[in-house]
């Protein structure tokens, strides 16, 4: 147990700086030439990357300008379309009011026209065929036929004014 009675536990010399370490030469740093740093900016890779970035930014700005112009044109055309649709609706309603049957009837009455009555309508019924053939020669009317035709014409004229028949 004799080895344990030493004061090596209290030896503080292990924590002190030694004289050898303090005398060590200071570390020298190598500083590159500042001109080389300036020329490094002129490196072709750096220049091409810079040109690429400038080109991309310019293209983005150009695209935004084009987009704004197209949007302005679109808005102008939309407002023009709305104006034309409104005008079309107005003109369509004006045309409908002019062409309506009621307006035509009113205008005809203003001009002195009247509606025809039922007795003024003469209907023709074809029982055999749906066509009429006209021959080149008309048959000679007999004197009795002329009288019958004249009486029938007078009677039809008389019917126009008499609502009874």
Over residues 101-117, mean pLDDT = 84
Over residues 24-38, mean pLDDT = 68
Question: Measuring CA to CA, which residue among 35, 61, 40, 64 is closest to residue 50?
Answer: 40
- If one compares 1 and 158, the residue with the highest pLDDT of the two is 158
Residues above pLDDT 70, as percent of the chain: 61
Q: Is residue 150's pLDDT more than 90?
A: no
Q: Is the pTM of this model over 0.75?
A: no
pLDDT tens for 60-96 read 999 999 999 999 999 999 999 999 999 999 999 888 8
Q: Give the 3-state DSSP-derived string for the chain, with helices as H, strands as E and coil as C.
A: CHHHCCCHHHCHHHCCCCHHHHCCCCCCCCCCCHHHHHHHCCCHHHHHHHHHHHHHHHHHHHHHHHHHHHHHHHHHHHHHHHHHHHHHHHHHHHHHHHHCHHHHHHHHHHCCCCCCCHHHCCCCCCCCCCCCCCCCCCCCCCHHHHHHHHHHHHHHHHHHHCCCC
* Per-residue confidence (pLDDT) for residue 45, from 0 to 100: 87
Radius of gyration of the chain (CA): 59
* Per-residue confidence (pLDDT) for residue 65, from 0 to 100: 96
Q: Is residue 114's pLDDT more than 80?
A: yes
């Amino acid at each position: 147990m004799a080895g344990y009675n030493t004061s090596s536990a209290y030896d503080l010399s292990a924590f002190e700086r030694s004289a050898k370490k303090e005398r060590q030469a200071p570390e020298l740093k190598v500083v590159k030439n500042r001109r080389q740093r300036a020329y490094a900016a002129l490196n072709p890779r750096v220049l091409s990357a810079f040109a690429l970035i400038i080109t991309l930014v310019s293209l983005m700005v150009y695209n935004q300008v084009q987009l704004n112009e197209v949007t302005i044109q679109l808005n102008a055309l939309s407002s023009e379309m709305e104006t034309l649709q409104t005008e079309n609706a107005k003109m369509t309603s004006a045309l409908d009011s002019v062409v309506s049957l009621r307006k035509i009837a009113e205008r005809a009455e203003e001009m002195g026209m009247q509606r025809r009555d039922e007795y003024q309508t003469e209907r023709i019924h074809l029982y055999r065929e749906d066509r009429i053939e006209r021959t080149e020669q008309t048959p000679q009317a007999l004197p009795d036929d002329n009288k019958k035709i004249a009486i029938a014409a007078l009677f039809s004229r008389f019917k126009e004014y008499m609502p009874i028949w």
